[in-house]
Amino acid sequence: GKETAFAFAERGAKIVAVARSKELLEDLVKTLPGKGHLYYVADVGERDSVKKAISQIISDYGHVDILVNNAGIASYGDFVERPLEELEAQIKTNFFGAIYFTKELLPHMISRKSGSIVNVISWAAFIPTPKMSVYSATKAALASFTNSLWIELKDKGIKVSGIYPGPIIGT
């Protein structure tokens, strides 16, 4: 997410970052090249939190040109040993977070007949990974959602794409 924000900012984009950690968001916005970047603290896995953030973003900016759904958490270990609450949080963040953001922003993009939705998925969508069963399932669901949404929106001026990185080391 951070590197994506830098890549867009270096090309002149105004970044609107959303995450749970105010401290990380403040640090990101301070270090991005250019000016006019904003951040909003929200839990992407909570529908009301996303709805509130999008409402404020639209109020502050008027529109969003590119939505990058990049939030994700992984839980490593045997499925049988993972607490259900941990798995639910993973599903809400990895899959429903993209659903919530897309659902809130898509009407604005459709009304403008312009916009791009980029879902950061994972190679785990296609290669099941032992000890990461729910993570792989969320990424497979996101891949299917992305492909279906692309078909729905391709004639409405909205671009939809998925990015499938391999393992990410570090934060």
| CA 66 – CA 23 distance, rounded (Å) | 24
Is residue 76 part of the annotated active site? The answer reads no
**DSSP 8-class letter at 119:** E
Contacts 24+ apart (CB under 8 A), 101-108: 101/44, 101/50, 101/54, 101/67, 101/69, 102/67, 102/69, 102/149, 104/50, 104/51, 104/54, 104/55, 105/54, 105/64, 105/67, 106/153, 106/158, 108/58, 108/63, 108/64
Given the residues 39, 40, 135, 164, select the one marked as catalytic.
Answer: 135
| Catalytic positions | 135
